A and B are shown apart, each in its own frame.
Chain A
Amino acid sequence: MPRYFTQDHEWIDVDGTDATVGITDYAQSQLGDITFVELPAAGSSVAKGDSASVVDSVKAASDVYAPVSGTVSETNAALEDEPELVNSAAESDGWLWRMTLSDAAELEGLMDEAAYKTYVEGL
């Protein structure tokens, strides 16, 4: 299942028209202790680049942008009681939401893992 990355430090795993979105390990390390995650409503539609979620750390609230457009199908209920999952497992159990893509062509502008790694090293 291919994984893509954005310049805003989201990752997206794509399986056909279904996808899972989270923030990268680099992003969580920059944000520090995460205390709350505001998730989009299941069923809501998001457009590429929209602020779809907010990750609250002790320091600040940070927007998470939709990497592509689509409809939110599910959110990570575990984060309600355990927002720190985003710190400990940003790119696995700390996923934020699942969605159905409306335009797979939007994936073309995103980075693959190697490109993202190079991008982060340059920051």
Chain B
Amino acid sequence: MSDTYKISPDETGEAQAGPLTLPLDGWHRARGGRMVAFAGYWMPVQYEGIIAEHLWTRTHAGFFDVSHMGQLYIAGEGAEAAIEAVLPIDLSTLPLGGVRYSLLLDDNGGILDDLMVTRWGSGFYLVVNGATKHDDIAHLRASLPDAVSLTHLADSALFALQGPEAFAALAPLVGGEHPLSALSFMRGASFTLGGVEAWISRSGYTGEDGFEIAVPAESASVIADLICAQPQVKPIGLGARDSLRLEAGLPLYGHDMTPDVDPVSADLLFGINKRRRGDGGFPGADRILSLIDTGSVTRRVGLVLEGRMAAREGAKVLWGEAEVGSVTSGGFSPSLEKPIAMATVAAELARPGTQLVIDVRGRKIAATVTPMPFVPHRYHRKGAA
């Protein structure tokens, strides 16, 4: 057997001094989490098993420790305009407590990271990927004017509670000015949780209803215990986090998007707000606005494979004999019980229903272009019941 159970080689961090530990390190180990190096930290890849954890999250509520992610705070005179100069985001339509997806772009329109931006009363709260956070901080600091400060909230832990029972599990634990039910998808507010102040938003990376919860690192294990004591909740590892986001059609940075990929090819135009498509004025705007007009040469698509053999990142996608793209992430879908993948393919082959072939270690596997998400989103949108 070869020993290939790390998530992906380019996200292991390869930290010179070895992986770092996060606030819940001992907590994960005590609960039987199998720890792997990921984004420069020891993190749990699974507890009881990826499929069981995946299906538990889809039917109950899964607790994820995502404290490796970068939590940043940007404030100061002119912060709003300064952020709009760096990100293709429209902050003029972002209300207090509103959360919005955005993209960090280089001058050529390549994607440096994807991130969430939230309007706080005094400034903006950003959550960026763990593997890229130090580069992001350097990039942002170099781009922001002196009057605008960027603080790395390194003493804050970050959790996600995801699944159809996430609300029922979390609601009785929180207090504050508003009930938890006041939050709809992509809205956040301050609450008290386990005796400390917590920033909670109704958001996540699984396609399910759920919450992301930032708490002081010194309270992390107390709050993790509190949440996981709820009968609906089990801790979930990185393995199921990846299979859940793949089913939800949500791209993963470093795989489905990289500096070599622009937002049009990556099918992430929703990360470039409407006003900015007219006004431009963000890194890479010239190229991206031109690609919006002309269309991109390649496109990110979803594929459902025949049989049970999964295609992994790097597998070639063929149309007839011609190589027309490659898989950017793929695996076995526990919900659908068949292999699914995301791939970059020639744009003219991106239409749903197109029959393609994936070369998996020399075997030719039939695959059909399929609209994403593969498993429907169940977000708690405003106005919905």
Contacts and interface: CB of A to CB of B under 8 A. Distances in A.
Given A33-B49, A33-B51, A36-B309, A54 B3 contact: no
Interface in A32-87: 32-33, 35-36, 38, 54-65, 83
Give the size range of B's interface with the partner: 20 to 34
A110 to B, nearest CB: 14
A62 B4 contact: yes
Contacts of A12: none
B5 A60 contact: yes
B334 interface: yes
Nearest to B4: A60
Interface in B24-55: 45-46, 49-52, 54
A83 B3 CA distance: 19
Interface residues of A, number: 26
25 contacts: A8-B1, A10-B1, A30-B5, A33-B49, A33-B51, A33-B334, A35-B308, A36-B307, A38-B361, A57-B5, A57-B50, A58-B50, A58-B54, A58-B331, A58-B332, A59-B239, A60-B5, A60-B312, A61-B4, A61-B310, A62-B1, A62-B3, A62-B4, A62-B5, A65-B2
Interface string A1-36: 000000011100000000000011001001111011
Nearest to A33: B51
Contacts of A32: 5, 46, 49-50, 239
Contact of B2 (A8, A35, A56, A83): A8
B7 interface: yes
Contact of A63 (B2, B50, B331, B334): B2
A38 B2 contact: no
A39 to B, nearest CB: 11
Nearest to A58: B50
Contacts of B310: 35-36, 56, 61
A83 B308 contact: yes
Interface in B309-354: 309-310, 312, 331-332, 334, 339
B50 A36 contact: no
Question: 7 closest A-B pairs (Cβ-Cβ)?
Answer: A35-B332, A9-B1, A36-B308, A58-B50, A33-B51, A27-B1, A60-B4
Given A35-B310, A36-B308, A36-B309, A59 B50 contact: yes
Contacts of B3: 30, 62
B1 A23 contact: yes
B243 interface: yes
A56 B341 CA distance: 15
A56 B5 contact: no
Contact of A58 (B6, B239, B361): B239
A8 B7 CA distance: 20
A32 B243 CA distance: 13
A38 B309 contact: yes
B50 A33 contact: yes
Contact of A56 (B7, B239, B309): B309
A64 B1 contact: yes
Contacts of A9: 1
A64 B361 CA distance: 14
Contacts of A36: 307-310, 332, 339
